[in-house]
Amino acid sequence: MKGTVGIVDFHAATNYGSALLAYALQRVVSDMGYDCSIINYQPQKQVDGYRLPILVSRHPVKRWIESLCWLPYNKQMKRKVDKFKSFAHDYMRLTPYCCDPSKINEECGTFDYYIAGGDQIWNTGCFEFEWYYYLDFVRNGKKIAYAPSMGPNGRKTIPAHLAERVRREVKTYQAVAVRDSGTAAFFDSNLPVVLDPTMLLDVEEWNKLAGDSPLIKGEYVFYYDPFDHEVGKNAAREYAVEHGYRIVSSNIYMIFQKDTRTFDYRLDAGPLEFLNFVKYAKYCIGRSFHLCVFSLLFRKEFQMADGLIDARNRELAESLWGDVERLSKAGDNDMIVSATDYTAEVETRFRDLRESSLLFLNKALNS
């Protein structure tokens, strides 16, 4: 082995993108010949934030009513959480668990290299944010940032009173590459922008995890938006009616807004089921960066509601297609990708981006 690597990310979140990118980055680093583990620290804020049922109302009475509305779905949601835990157990190499930030080094161990890896871990506005995600606990060892993000609004996410500390923490890194130009723009230097960790794995790896047969029988549209915005749901309804497909969804955010007449909810879907739903869908619609990513990886036809005004989705599309206005076939802000958009030129651009991203990671670990 070339050395030990500890990865910091949102691996324990009940979130498809977070779990799948954690697996991907660890897999890639391990394949490079390193003894790689995910540091199994989980902030109490994250534990509380994903506690079932998910209640979004602020008023006590509304929260009580909300909890009652969730009752028919509690068993499904519990199965989803269990599937996320099983995925972590089966596909991630984790250190011992720790929930005390002062004991991370003691309980999780120390490493030759530390990677702040992917997702919005540098978004100080995330409900589970802690300075841990900037690797402030590291005393020895090389610090590397691979594709962390400050979120959809990039540098605007960081409030003025935290900006100095963010810069001070990142100055202690030996190698830094971020997921988007909005995050890079926060810093004075021209940081490289690299692909999300999920895009480093060959699609055949994702095909294996997704399975050889569809879990949903018949033709369907797969809809996913972690926050269930109406614009995405309306786009799914319109497409399904026009083409005669059913709509499958693995998520409800606001229980008051569930639509069981139109949506076939599969709320017990874990990371593997999510991959399967995307792989075998006739069409994917939503407002999710990782739905966009996996639709691209599986070469699906898909629609990102308001995708052209989501900086993350737009920048990813620009890196592959250049002029993304050509993807606005409806003449609005939706990003629509059809089978004919996957040209040889796009395949070449994707291959080049993947190679350059892997090269950065390899050099960061070897220099």
Neighbours of 284 (CB within 10 A): 25
Q: How far is CA 345 from the centre of its chain?
A: 26
Rounded CA gap, 178 and 182, in Å?
Answer: 9
| Cα 156–Cα 160–Cα 163 angle in degrees, nearest 5 | 85
Per run of 10 residues, the mean pLDDT along the chain (length 367 residues) is 94 97 98 98 95 92 94 97 98 97 96 96 96 96 97 87 96 96 89 97 97 97 95 95 97 92 97 98 97 98 94 95 86 91 97 98 94
Structure tokens at 80: 């989803």
pLDDT (0 to 100) of residue 152? 85
pLDDT (0 to 100) of residue 366? 92
Query: Are the beta carbons of 336 and 317 closer than 8 angstroms?
Result: no
Is domain 203-300+302-337 classified as CATH 3.40.50?
yes
The C-alpha torsion from 186 through 191 and 195 to 201, rounded to 10°, is: -130
In this prediction the pTM is 0.97
pLDDT (0 to 100) of residue 330? 61
User: What is the CATH number that goes with domain 4-49+86-201+354-366?
Assistant: 3.40.50
| Strand bridging mode 283-286 / 35-38 | unpaired
- Domain residue spans of the chain: 4-49+86-201+354-366, 203-300+302-337
Listed in sequence order, the residues at least 6 apart from 74 whose beta carbon sits closer than 8 Å to its beta carbon are 52, 53
Q: What does each C-alpha distance from 10 to 13, 93, 103 come to in angstroms?
A: 6, 14, 18
Q: Do domains 4-49+86-201+354-366 and 203-300+302-337 have the same CATH topology?
A: yes
Widest CA span in the chain: 59
Query: Are the beta carbons of 66 and 122 closer than 8 angstroms?
Result: no
